Amino acid sequence: MSYIVEIDKEYVAGTYNRFPVEIVRGSGSVVYDTDGKRYIDMGSGIGVTALGLTNEGWQNAVAAQLGQLQHMSNLYYTAPCAELAQLLCERTGMKKVFFGNSGAEANECAIKVARKYAADKKGADYTTIITLENSFHGRTLTTLAATGQDHFHELFQPLTPGFVHTPANDIEALRRTVAEHKVAGILFECVQGEGGVIPLEPAFVQEMARLASEQDFLLMVDEVQTGNGRTGQLYAYMHYGITPDVVTTAKGLGGGLPIGAALLGEKAEKVLGFGDHGSTYGGNPVCCAGAYYVISHIDDTLLAEVREKSDYVFSALQGAEGIKSVTGKGLMIGIETVKPAAEVLKACMENGVLCLTAKAKLRLLPALNIPMPLLQEAVAVILDACKE
Ligand SMILES: *Cc1c(COP(=O)(O)O)cnc(C)c1O
């Protein structure tokens, strides 16, 4: 055992079951471990390093801001925060942005906005937030309550009350759930990520949007994993022809620096006033400068490339030996394998490809700009590892 593994095991809280690999450096979609072994990175830090590792333009943008001002309180104006908010609104049609530091924090903001919107408009008893079974919304006590997977809940009772879960893609059950509760909002992932990379059906998404508009509660899309180009559109809701009231995002937004955002549409933009919400690091200038670079480089050309690479991966994997199904959208891909996914992942790692899992599936979230030859090399290794 190396010294780093030893002290990590001794001093870092045991919340992560790490692989026995220490990564020391990376470039683009390639990383190296302590022995100098090369891996193709098909996980990109769980969809975080959207433009690859040590991206030069991103580094320059971050370094320039770092040399000017690394932090300032939200008591004052700073340019990167204002400019990033403007860019996000221009690219989505949303009206205002609240910045935090993570996906969970972005969802916490969305939930507060929905509760306050409902209290202001309908009364203080309209508190219920509907989420979907098999969803994932974060690790704080409130976003755990939102998460529709019981095994995350068991050890941490009592969770924040006021959440109900309804099955994905079941329109009748959705209508019943809405009818039975005093609803403040509905929160969902367009492609359930941690739940196994499962896209929602368009008719179901459109029915959630219709009910939210008819009953005047907030339609909130959790784009923490699906956002920022991951699915081949800037945000995944754009595939579904809906206009959300709140869009939350994080992961790929910062390109590797911690940032989360809740984008607020017309119905939600004025709900929060002075003192209703806050975050000390929220809108940090270095994180915002990095995110500005990321968002301004996810243009139509890159999005078209994401869709092309996605088509390539789907057609290479679908129907191949040892693969039962391939699901997802863009470069967010789930692979149902005949062998246990953990076994396939291990074989890939031995052969120089880092993958993720989601439930019983192998999951791929490569950088959006992964070069085609590297993607082909990784797919060949994955195909081989899946064979019985
Ligand atoms: C990762 C994830 C979160 C939580 O994000 P953190 O930054 O870890 O708090 C929330 N929602 C979805 C859909 C995610 O994939």
Domain harbouring 325, CATH code: 3.90.1150.10
Question: 257 near 99, Cβ under 8 Å?
Answer: no
Please tell me the distance from the alpha carbon of residue 109 to that of residue 178, in angstroms, as a whole number. Answer: 22
- Same domain? 278 vs 171: yes
- C-beta separation of 264 from 92 below 8 A: no
Does residue 66 contact residue 285 with C-beta atoms inside 8 Å? no
Q: Measured between alpha carbons, how far is 29 from 371 in angstroms, rounded to an integer?
A: 8
Mutate to test the pocket of ligand 1, among 129, 190, 223, 251 (most ligand atoms within 8 A of CB): 251
Contacts of 202 (CB under 8 A, 6+ apart): 239, 240, 241
How far is ligand 1, taken at its centre, from the CA of residue 141, in Å?
13
**Same domain, residue pair 306 and 262:** no
Closest Cα to atom 15, ligand 1: which residue? 225
The token duo for 126 is 């309209």
> d(Cα 278, Cα 101) in Å, to the nearest integer?
11
What is the CA(102)–ligand 1 centre distance, in A? 7
Alpha carbons within 13 A on the beta-carbon side of 278: 8
282 and 312 co-located in one domain: no
Write out the H or E segment, with its range, that includes residue 294: helix 285-297
Q: Does the beta carbon of 289 sit less than 6 angstroms from any atom of ligand 1?
A: no
Q: Tell whether ligand 1 has an atom less than 6 A from the beta carbon of residue 337.
A: no
108 lines ligand 1 (CB under 6 A): no
Ligand 1 centroid distance, CA of 237 (Å): 17
Q: Which of 254, 270, 297 is the last residue of a domain?
A: 297
Expressed in angstroms and rounded, the spacing between residue 271 Cα and the centre of ligand 1 is: 24
Question: Rounded to whole angstroms, how far apart are CA atoms 99 and 169?
Answer: 31
The reply to whether 113 and 135 lie within a common domain is: yes
Query: If you measure from the C-alpha of residue 319 to the centroid of ligand 1, how many angstroms do you get, rounded to a whole number?
Result: 31
Q: Is 225 in the pocket of ligand 1 (CB under 6 A)?
A: yes
> What does the DSSP assignment read for 55-108?
-HHHHHHHHHHHTT-S---TTS--HHHHHHHHHHHHHH---EEEEESSHHHHHH
Closest CA to 103 of 288, 275, 196, 227: 227
Q: Is the CB of 254 under 6 A from ligand 1?
A: no
CA–CA separation, 75 vs 69, rounded Å?
15
Dist. CA 132–CA 167, nearest whole Å? 6
Q: What's the 245 CA to ligand 1 centre distance in angstroms?
A: 19
Give me the helices (H) in 181-262, please.
202-215
- 141-164 per-position pLDDT tens digit: 999 999 999 998 989 999 999 999
Residue-level pLDDT at 244: 98
Last residue of a domain, one of 297, 314, 332: 297
Residue 28 to residue 30: CA distance in whole angstroms = 6
If asked whether residues 284 and 321 sit together in one domain, one would say: no
Q: How distant, in Å, are the alpha carbons of 99, 195, 231, 388 from that of 382?
A: 37, 21, 21, 12
Ligand 1 atom showing the smallest separation from residue 194 Cα: 15
Owning domain of residue 147: 58-297
Q: Could you give the number of structural domains in the chain?
A: 2
Farthest CA pair distance, the chain: 62
- DSSP single-letter state for residue 125: T
Indicate if ligand 1 lies below 6 Å from the C-beta of 109. no
Q: What are phi and psi of 125, to 5 degrees?
A: -90, -5
CATH code: domain of residue 139: 3.40.640.10
Q: Of the residues 297, 329, 357, which one is the last residue of a structural domain?
A: 297
- The answer on 137 and 63 residing in a single domain is yes
Q: How remote is the CA of residue 105 from the centroid of ligand 1, in Å?
A: 9
Q: How far apart are CA 17 and CA 65, in angstroms?
A: 35
Q: Would the CB of 138 count as within 6 Å of ligand 1?
A: yes
CA of 194 to the centre of ligand 1 (A): 9
Q: Which residue has the CA at smallest separation from atom 8 of ligand 1?
A: 103
Pick from 27, 49, 53, 51: nearest CA to 38: 27
Phi, psi of 25, rounded to the nearest 5 degrees: -160, 165
Same domain for 313 and 289: no
Name the helix (H) or strand (E) containing 325: strand 323-329
Residue ranges of the chain whose pLDDT lies below 70: none
Instruction: Find residue 358's DSSP bridge partners.
Output: 361
CA distance linking residue 138 with residue 120, whole number of Å: 27
Q: Which of 187, 224, 228 to mutate to test the pocket of ligand 1 (most atoms within 8 A of CB)?
A: 224
pLDDT tens digits for 233-262?
Answer: 999 999 999 999 999 999 999 999 999 999
**Residue of 73, 80, 87, 100 lying closest to 289 (CA atoms):** 80
How far away, in angstroms, is 103 Cα from ligand 1 center?
A: 4
Give the model confidence (pLDDT) of 96-130 as tens digits.
999 999 999 999 999 999 999 999 999 999 999 99
Partner residues linked to 163 by β-bridges: 129
- 273 and 340 both lie in a single domain: no
Residues 323 and 291 in one domain: no
**What pairs with residue 33 in β-bridges?**
23
Q: Is the CB of 104 under 6 A from ligand 1?
A: yes
Judgement on whether residues 277 and 355 belong to the same structural domain of the protein: no
CA distance 136 to 294: 24
Name which of 348, 271, 47, 15 is nearest 152 in CA terms.
Answer: 15
**Within this chain, do residues 352 and 249 fall inside the same structural domain, yes or no?**
no
DSSP-derived letter for residue 130 is: E
What CA–CA distance (Å, rounded) separates 216 from 138?
26
| Ligand 1 atom having least distance to the Cα of 189 | 13
Ligand 1 atom at minimum distance from 107 CA: 10
> Is 258 found in the same domain as 113?
yes
